[in-house]
Amino acid sequence: MTDIEGLRTAMHAAVDGEKASADELIRLVKRRHRRHTIRVACIAVLAVVAVAVPAGISLHDRLGAPSPVPQARPSRHLPTKMSGQPMPAGTNFRLLVSAGNGAAWYSTAARRAEHIGGLPRSQGGYQFLGVLGGWVAWSYNAASTVCTQGNQCPGPPKEFYFIADGSLTATRIGAGYAVAASSRRGAVWLVTYPRASTNFTGSATAQLVSTTGRPLGPPYRLPADYLLGNGAGSGVGGDLLLNSNQNNSHTILWDPRTRRVLRHLDNVIATGPAQIAWSQGCRSCRVQVLNVPAGTTVATPIPGRNPAALAAAFSDDGRLLAVQAPGRDAEVFDTASRTLTAIPGTALSSANLQNFGWQAGSHRLVIAAGPNNQPGPAQLAYWQPGDTRLRIATIHNLAEITALQTGAIG
């Protein structure tokens, strides 16, 4: 499993006059768009939480999805634990965990970890990408690249699988270089290259496919030097938000049918099913929310001077935008009423790591927190509109999560 990395500080920038090796380039692309995971008992707890029902919210990476909170500057005035009310008795959190050579659902109520079938054994475990209705999973095992004449290339394709929210069986999507979330339930964008040795900075092909791998549209050749998938861009309505491989803060909204660039955007912090949150990054700038189908933009009260330091996530319907800056309480912006609500008890010092995301199909925000690179209990909490305090549960015996051999904890 990988170490915890900074949200935006892990982004790469192309170096003028220098070329990275293929392995280095691919590693940087992955780092650029991968968000924090919470280190729990030396494994990453990547996903996710269903409160009382088998529906998940992503605490893992996708552009515009659940979001890790960038670390705050050290401060003795900030707490190391979230504060609020105890979670009601009987509330059950289920965590999608990658451990050992597979994946499993861990229940905090049953203290039981159930393996997910249909996934090949993977020595490095699995990583996950939240999409509508579930998760895309792929092996952590790093495939060696096959390059010729010094080209940077994607290497052999990866196998991608879909895990529906709460399901104990994964289904194969197909092989490719990357997968991107779409705005259509039961569908993802699969990114491929014609050959493993194709120049990495050339054009890839993206195709909308079902979560069982059935093509749902024609393949589209992406513009050269733009990235899609595994957190590098996503589907927004029928269009694609593509990240520049040359400028780590620049994205384009691209219509794959007409091959037209519809809009240039800087510093995108989150995407919804039809929304894009971004900021120009100037001293007096505010975070903007673009509604793509309507073509309208709403200015939020959220400061956008330093967008790289913001963690953000839209609810599945795009109405609510959760945002948090380092060392500050999380806030939720309602795009319909245009009101901003602070969630007290969520500001933590740099001694802790936080992830948050919306429970699937709801307006319930789920937040996970735990000590940074040291042993200690993990906190799971939720908030929903109308609440004045967090509702918090604590996992004290983190070793339970790693005990996946029998699927039961005695």
Would you state the pLDDT for residue 63?
Answer: 29
What does the CA dihedral 210, 272, 95, 135 come to, rounded to 10 degrees? 10
Span 244-270, pLDDT tens digits: 888 878 999 999 999 999 999 999 999
Structure tokens at 220: 């589209």
pLDDT band at 40 (very low <50, low <70, confident <90, very high): very low
From the list 313, 306, 304, the residue with the least C-alpha distance to 285 is 304
Span 138-179, pLDDT tens digits: 997 655 455 665 566 777 889 999 999 889 999 999 999 999
User: Of residues 82 and 97, which shows the higher confidence score?
Assistant: 82
Would you state the pLDDT for residue 19?
Answer: 32
Q: Which residue has the tokens 């270089």?
A: 177
From the list 250, 247, 242, the residue with the least C-alpha distance to 226 is 242
Structure tokens at 348: 């933590």
User: Of residues 226 and 94, which shows the higher confidence score?
Assistant: 226
Would you state the pLDDT for residue 30?
Answer: 38
139's enclosing H/E stretch is strand 134-139
Q: How far apart are CA 213 and CA 5, in angstroms?
A: 32
From the list 380, 355, 352, the residue with the least C-alpha distance to 109 is 380
Which stretch of 49-53, 211-215, 311-315, 394-398 has the lowest confidence by average pLDDT?
49-53
For residue 302, how many C-alpha atoms fall within 13 Å in the half-sphere facing its CB? 36
Q: Count other Cβ atoms within 10 Å, centred on residue 4.
A: 17
Give the fold, CATH level 3, of 22-402: Methylamine Dehydrogenase; Chain H (2.130.10)
- Residue type present at position 7: L
Contact status, residue 370 vs residue 391, Cβ threshold 8 Å: no
Mapping DSSP onto H, E and C, the string for 285-329 reads: CEEEEEECCCCEEEEEEEECCCHHHCEEEECCCCCEEEEECCCCC
Q: Count other Cβ atoms within 10 Å, centred on residue 114.
A: 15
From the list 155, 116, 123, the residue with the least C-alpha distance to 139 is 123
Would you state the pLDDT for residue 99?
Answer: 66
- The overall average pLDDT reported for the chain is 77
* Per-residue buried b or exposed e for 268-287, using 16+ beta carbons within 10 Å of the residue's own CB: bbbbbbbbbbbbeeeeebeb
Would you state the pLDDT for residue 400?
Answer: 61
Selection from 24-38, 66-80, 292-306 with the highest mean pLDDT: 292-306
Query: What pTM, to 2 d.p., does this model score?
Result: 0.78
Sheet with 339-343, strands from edge to edge, namely 311-314, 320-324, 330-334, 339-343
Span 112-139, pLDDT tens digits: 778 899 999 888 788 888 888 899 999 9
